[in-house]
Amino acid sequence: PPERANQLRTGLTVELLDPNSKQQLAVGNLTFVSPTVNASAQSILTRAQFRNVEGRLRDGQFVAARIIWQTQPGVLVPTSAISRLGGRDFVFLVADQPNEQGQEFVTLQPVNLGAIQGDRYQVLSGLEQGNRIAVSNILRLNDSAPIAAESGL
């Protein structure tokens, strides 16, 4: 958007996405930012360069582009993995050790959520990198419920 023109600068990361599947096709960087804003089109001319090592980009291909304004370390979880109870947000965290019957199980873990990015929430606290969580059938789960991994995951 033109109101962010002063934040545009060469070197910013740009993602190219398939407009239908939203799958990432390539990552590159801005190499040029026009000093003028086209007020009638509400746009700013930019150029970015992408490596096409995997051959996923073709001449004339229609793509969606997304500028990454900033990055922050953290954990992203699917929005479908979030449970809300009493105004608080939770995930079902897979316990490190199996229960007495030798089954994996989940515990209700409170989380503090940040911004939503596509179909994922940023988790500000409550989870660490590498934690495993339940991402499907969460409406059937409760604290200490035994679980089994679905095939293909």
From first to last of its 153 residues, what are the pLDDT tens digits of the chain? 678 889 999 999 999 999 999 889 999 999 999 999 998 898 999 999 999 989 999 999 999 999 998 887 789 999 999 999 999 999 999 998 888 888 899 999 999 999 888 789 999 999 999 999 999 989 999 998 888 877 655
- Between the two ends of the chain, the Cα-to-Cα distance in Å is 38
List the beta bridge partners of residue 122.
76
In whole angstroms, give the CA distance from residue 12 to residue 29.
5
3-state class of 114 per DSSP? strand
Q: Phi and psi at residue 45, in whole multiples of 5°? A: -75, 125
- DSSP of 17-72: E-TTT--EEEEEEEEEEEEEEETTTTEEEEEEEE--TT----TT---EEEEE----
Residues of the chain with CATH 2.40.420.20: 75-140
Identify which of 104, 111, 123, 117 has the alpha carbon closest to the alpha carbon of residue 83. Answer: 111
The reported pTM is 0.61
Range 75-140: architecture per CATH: Beta Barrel (2.40)
Say how far apart CA 137 and CA 59 lie, in whole Å.
Answer: 42
Classify residue 132 as exposed, middle or buried by CB count within 10 Å of its CB (0-12, 13-18, 19+): middle
